[in-house]
Amino acid sequence: MAKDFSSFLSLEGATRKKSPLKSLIPLMHGDMISLGGGLPHPSTFPFHSLSAQITSMRPAAHQQKAVVAAASSDTVTVPLAPQPDKIESLTASLQYGIGTGIKSLRDFCREHVRLMHQPQYQDWDVILSAGNTDAFSKVVGLLCNRGDKILVEEWTYPTALETLDPHGIGHVAVEMDGEGMTATGLRRILDNWGSTPEQANDPKPRVVYLIPTGQNPTGATMSVKRRMDILAVAQDHDLILIEDDPYYYLQFHVEGGSWMPTLLSMDTDGRVIRLDTFSKTLAPGCRVGYMSMNARFCDTMQYHNEVTIQQPSGFSQAILAEMLVSHWGQEGYTRYLTDNVRTEYLKRSQYLQTELKTHINPKLASFIEPSAGMFIWIKIHVDQHPRYKTVKDSALMLDLFRKCVENNVLMVPGWQFSCKPKPQDVDPADVMNCWFDEDANYLRATFAYASFEQMKEASIRFGQTLDQFFSA
């Protein structure tokens, strides 16, 4: 069983209770006549069925091996009325729910987590979210009070920091290397907590936020050993780990279906909260994800859902359930992840890397090959610039960024992922005039979206821009 982490709940988390109104919903079955809950009458729903054309995952009939039938599609339909042994009717999915997500989709996600991650304690559970952005903000509410600080990777997903700031929750940057957050850096900060004047009055952090696979923005993926070491620090210092893992299925070197073990899969205490999303595997507009954690936390997340999103959109849930539960099944979904999603990003990643290597002078910029995710974190060797040391690195980087824009090649400025406080006198939205953080000598490129021709052209333009910039 999970350890008791109730003392980690924030004031908000500890105060959340089950909605009494929602407690009536499970009683509405069998012979019960409900004159209770204010559910709208389904005859007023103007939707008679919901259909979609989806990628077929049926094995090609003439082939022995299970392979994706090339470019074929299936039509799936969710009818209005209940059908025996099928997923919920459209009427049910479009109705108010109980904050967990519809049963068939939640069960599918729970089973997927069990198959993929095999959590090592019994009382874990899964609940649906409206994606990882929604889930993260709820986890922060669950665990953090104003004035707390959480530990984050030194380059991190900006939305996470933007979630913390308005709640008065601070962050502490932990050093990274090619494998993401270092366990030694994490331990050092915690072992020495309180030793600096700034930390003297701050409570010791109890929560770590990390993106272990195909990290955003660095593309770093933690090795198995790194994951074990991070977990060991978490046990020694009694920490909760938030494992935000949207790029987990974009692992390029999966052989024989052996995906990287997750922090959740190694956790014997119930201290890992894992966030999964369908955004990168199916489509971001679904706005559906799922969170896995100890049952105590999971209940509180349900109460939070009850008073915010209630549950993800009924349309999304209905069509996802029809596709995943009734058509693809666990096997088809896993095959889709491996053969379609992963393979496509592997191809794209290799293509952009090759083009960049062909067109960039390695003395001027370099990158570490990502083994997962969507990103290449390009380090600019500003020390090779003729004006190095006579002007600030940030001025050089801003100059380079402007030249890239002039030459029609766009990448995200490295400072956008910085954990350092933004100076008051800069407007971060004014990207053409903003570059803070003297260490942010990076640009983040993605191979996820542009066409192959565009990636080639962008690499040529970037290479030329670098040559031009470094010769000035």
Ligand X SMILES: Cc1ncc(COP(=O)(O)O)c(C=O)c1O
The contact set with ligand X (CB under 6 A) reads 131-133, 157, 211, 216, 244, 246, 277, 279, 284, 289
Buried b (16+ CB within 10 A) or exposed e, 244-265: bbbbbbbbbebeeeebbebbbb
Minimum CB–partner distance for residue 219 and ligand X (Å): 11
Rounded to 5 degrees, what are φ and ψ at 48?
-100, -25
Amino acid occupying residue 222? M
Please state the φ and ψ torsions of residue 320, each to the nearest 5 degrees: -65, -40
Q: Nearer to ligand X by C-beta: 133 or 317?
A: 133
Number of residue whose CB is nearest ligand X: 131
Least distance (Å) between residue 372 CB and ligand X? 12
Q: What one-letter code names the amino acid at 99?
A: G
Q: Tokens in use for 260?
A: 């990287």
Q: How far is CA 114 from CA 124, 126, 264, 289, in A?
A: 10, 10, 10, 16
What is the nearest approach in angstroms of ligand X to the Cβ of residue 167?
Answer: 17
Answer whether 441's CB lies under 8 Å from 380's CB. yes
- At 368, the amino acid letter reads I
Distance (Å, rounded) from C-alpha 158 to C-alpha 141?
A: 18
Minimum distance, C-beta of residue 383 to ligand X, in the bound complex (Å): 30
Q: Are 376 and 356 in contact (CB under 8 A)?
A: yes
Closest separation between CB of residue 165 and ligand X, Å? Answer: 16
CB of 384 to ligand X, least distance (A): 31
How near is the Cβ of 17 to ligand X at its closest, in Å? 27
State the alpha helices, DSSP H only, in 172-325: 183-191, 224-236, 263-266, 295-306, 314-321
Residue 240 C-beta: closest distance to ligand X, Å: 17
Nearer to ligand X, 417 or 470 (CB): 417
Residue number with CB closer to ligand X (374 or 466): 374
Q: Cα–Cα distances in Å, from 172 out to 152, 353, 439?
A: 6, 32, 16
User: Residue 465 is encoded by which pair of tokens?
Assistant: 């821009």
Q: Which is nearer to ligand X, 40 or 284 (CB)?
A: 284
* Closer CB to ligand X, 100 or 137, in the complex: 137
Tokens 């999603």 label which residue? 341
Closer residue to ligand X in complex, CB, 132/353? 132
Using the minimum distance from each CB to ligand X, give the nearer residue, 108 or 136: 136
CB contact at 8 A, 265 and 117: yes
Nearest to 395 by CA among 407, 408, 380: 380
Tokens of 41: 């009458």
